[in-house]
Amino acid sequence: MKPIIEYQDYHAYLSDYYEERKRTSAFSWREFAKIAGFVSPSYLKDVCCGKTILSKVTMGRVAAAVGLAGYEVTYFEAMVQFGNAKTDDAKKKFLEQMHSIALDHKVRIVDKDAFEYYDSWKNSVVRELAPIMPGAMPGEIAKMCTQEISALEVRKSLAFLERAGFLKQIGENIYVQTEKSVEGSREGLPLALRSMHREMGHLAIDSLDRFASNERNITGVTMGIDKDAYERIVRELDECRKKITAIAEECSNIKQVYRLNLQLFPLSKEVSKNEEAKDE
């Protein structure tokens, strides 16, 4: 079984622990629950299946039951609170704790680079600008951004992008993009992406007043749909995004960095048949 600090989902960790114990001994959910001090023999099975969660009170008992010690207990408790957190700020706090513990113990979590990359609009913009401005100093790149960014922030972004493998320096202040994609676990990456989408959403609002209509294209439609139509629209948006990406990749004379947001979200709750009947 892999080390605990390679996990970001405590349900998955406990499930793997149980399967490993069961593979090497006559281990059962009843025994697992008994060791952890739970009356219900199926409680930990429900936790592993995602039907229920561990609390701040019970996570310590479970950590002891699986034999965790020292930093492993701290990591496990942070992982539980990350999984149970309701807000992005809380999730970010506990994810950063997990990253810090993993770094201290020489284990690299792939989400860390993805999280740092998506945590601000600056990294993605600098990654696009630097290759098309060979020899440019950080201050020159900063001046080309439509949003406020300092030369120091550009310098820090370049250092991160090079260290993480998103850019490669081939000469003095000359960079090329690598083909490395930003990847992470299914637990951590969505949180990082939400941070990026939130920032880019604010920038899109700002663009309404900052740029002339011939420099931006913002449209929208309000519509009534069902689940099937929603899924079909999402597939169309995915295909559209892929086609647009292909067009951008064909561009050999890049002059400017743009951002495309595709947004489809509910403006109402789902109306059930009973509610429709009441209206009649």
Mean residue pLDDT across the chain: 87
Residue 4 DSSP code: G
HEC sequence for 265-278: CCCCCCCCHHHHHH
Instruction: Tell whether 210 is covered by a domain.
Output: no
Instruction: Tell whether 87 is covered by a domain.
Output: yes
pLDDT of residue 140: 96
Task: Give the burial class of 125: count Cβ atoms within 10 A of its Cβ; 0-12 exposed, 13-18 middle, 19 or more buried.
Answer: buried
pLDDT of residue 111: 63
| CATH code for the domain in which residue 85 is found | 1.10.260
pLDDT of residue 35: 93
Residue with tokens 């496990």: 76
Give tens-digit pLDDT for 217-245: 999 999 999 989 999 998 899 888 888 88
Query: What's the total number of domains in the chain?
Result: 1
pLDDT of residue 153: 96
- Long-range CB pairs of 266-271 (<8 Å, 24+ gap) are 267/222
Task: Please report how the helices 71-84 and 10-24 are oriented relative to each other, as an axis angle in degrees rounded to 10.
Answer: 130
Scored b (16 or more CB within 10 A) or e, 103-118 reads eeeeeebebbbbbbbb
Range of weakest confidence among 22-36, 208-222, 238-252, 266-280: 266-280
pLDDT of residue 130: 95
Instruction: Tell whether 88 is covered by a domain.
Output: yes
> Which amino acid appears at position 21 of this protein?
R
106 or 47: which carries more pLDDT confidence? 47
Residue 71 has pLDDT above 90, yes or no: no
pLDDT of residue 128: 92
pLDDT of residue 259: 92
Give tens-digit pLDDT for 97-139: 998 888 777 655 556 677 788 888 999 999 999 999 999 999 9
pLDDT of residue 23: 84
Instruction: Tell whether 161 is covered by a domain.
Output: no
Domain that holds residue 49: 4-106
Range of weakest confidence among 11-15, 31-35, 117-121, 183-187: 183-187
In this structure, how many other beta carbons lie within 10 angstroms of the beta carbon of residue 200? 16
Instruction: Tell whether 259 is covered by a domain.
Output: no
Instruction: Tell whether 144 is covered by a domain.
Output: no
pLDDT above 90 covers a percentage of the chain that reads 52
pLDDT of residue 109: 56
Instruction: Tell whether 193 is covered by a domain.
Output: no
Stretch 68-92: mean pLDDT, rounded? 91
pLDDT of residue 25: 82
Give tens-digit pLDDT for 245-265: 878 877 888 899 999 998 888
Q: SS3 for 169?
A: strand
Task: Please report how the helices 110-118 and 151-164 are oriented relative to each other, as an axis angle in degrees rounded to 10.
Answer: 150
User: Please, which pLDDT band fits residue 15 given cuts at 50, 70 and 90?
Assistant: very high
Instruction: Tell whether 66 is covered by a domain.
Output: yes
196 or 186: which carries more pLDDT confidence? 196
pLDDT of residue 251: 82
pLDDT of residue 273: 67
